[in-house]
Amino acid sequence: MDWTGFARTFGLFFATAIAELVGCYLPLLWLTGKGSGWLLLPAALSLTVFVWLLTLHPTASGRVYATYGAVYIATALGWLCTVDKVSPTWNDVVGVGLALCGAGVIAMGQRPG
């Protein structure tokens, strides 16, 4: 995969993760009394976008979803910092690094010989 393809795939994974996080965060706000029930409408829209974005991934295989999982973990840690205003611990950073390394091993294993 060339760098353009890599950047496109990573961007797609990142957009998918954001849609999933927003779709789950908004109902949490409503359930904890920090927002109105109207938040469920954009949450449903966000989860619909999330599912649509999943259809745009190169292949709908477990390997793609495993790689997406690592990007999701990294994005969720970024969410922790920016939305929840919680600083990550060294365990968080190491965990994300390990997940991304694992995703790299999976992705690099699929390169043509």
Residue found under tokens 């999943």: 54
Q: Please give the angle made by the CA atoms of 74, 40 and 35, to the nearest 5 degrees.
A: 85
Give tens-digit pLDDT for 12-65: 999 999 999 999 999 999 999 999 999 999 999 999 999 999 888 776 677 788
Q: Whole-angstrom Cα distance, residue 102 to residue 36?
A: 39
Query: Is 60 exceeded by the pLDDT of residue 1?
Result: no
Task: Report the first-to-last Cα separation within the chain, whole angstroms.
Answer: 12
pTM of the model: 0.85
Write the CB contacts of 19 (distance below 8 Å, at least 6 apart in sequence).
Answer: 46, 47, 49, 50, 53
Kindly indicate the confidence band of residue 113, based on its pLDDT and cuts at 50, 70 and 90. Answer: low
